[in-house]
Amino acid sequence: MTALLKISPSNAKIGYESLSLLSGYSCPFALDCLAKVDLETYKIIDGPDALFRCFSATAEAAFPSVRRQRQHNFDLLKACDSIDEMVELLTMSIRPSYAPFRIHVGGEFFNQTYFDAWCEYARQNPNRIFYAYTKSLPYWVARIDSIPANLSLTASRGGRMDHLIDEHGLKEAVVVFSEAEAEEKNLEIDHDDSHAVENNGRSFALLLHGTQKAKSTASDAIKAMKLNGTKFSYAKSA
């Protein structure tokens, strides 16, 4: 029997099904949030220029089942030889539905072929919204005039190709360390992915969340939000 991708159910933050890949390893343009789990020691490895730690990588370090699921998905997709093979795998693995579907709670569009496969899969399922946050901006820009209307993309600021956000006027999400920072930037905070699902071009903010490196600015921000009673934490995402 052909192995299928493992699809995650809804959780405390995301009311939709999702598919995730191994964080860091599948993220070619990550910078500010770059982190990955060492696959031998299972400890977090922070990127050399990371300003905060990827919440998804921390989940993979804390929950072996999450890590195994995402590595399984990543390995299956990397083994595909073409867009058609990837689309077939997505078709076999994702059950039909009219509910929105999140592409990647963990992980990223790891190459152009994989990005193109999602575009094609969305075209073949026009009655369903697919949405993703992404730092893989070169793949998006390469197809900017042919993105299906039901594929809602949000640029995740903090990557190595951020200049493409400004050059192409891409909808973006900015991680902020407080509600006050979001207000200063004149950005609404998305707590439930509703801003990401809407393909309306409006940018927004995301509050920092997840376990952060001890004694870091990000860790201090988490402590401050806890003291202020700010809602920023969600259940683990598989």
With contact defined as beta carbons under 8 Å apart, do 117 and 31 qualify?
no
pLDDT tens-digit readout, 179-232: 888 899 999 999 889 999 999 999 999 987 667 677 777 676 667 667 766 665
What are the domain boundaries of the chain? Answer: 17-228
**Phi, psi at residue 207, to the nearest 5°?**
-75, 140
The pLDDT score that the predictor gives to residue 235 is 44
Q: What are the Cα distances from residue 210, in Å, to 122, 207, 228?
A: 30, 10, 17
**Residues 55, 3: Cα–Cα separation, whole Å:** 28
Ranges 18-22, 165-169, 183-187, 212-216: which has the least confidence: 212-216
Look at the chain and count its residues.
Answer: 238
pLDDT of 237 strictly over 50: no
**Phi, psi at residue 189, to the nearest 5°?**
-95, 130
**Residues 188, 121: Cα–Cα separation, whole Å:** 30
Angle between helical axes of 83-93 and 112-124 (0-180°, round to 10): 50
229: exposed, middle or buried (C-beta count within 10 Å: 0-12, 13-18, 19+)?
Answer: exposed
pTM of the model: 0.90
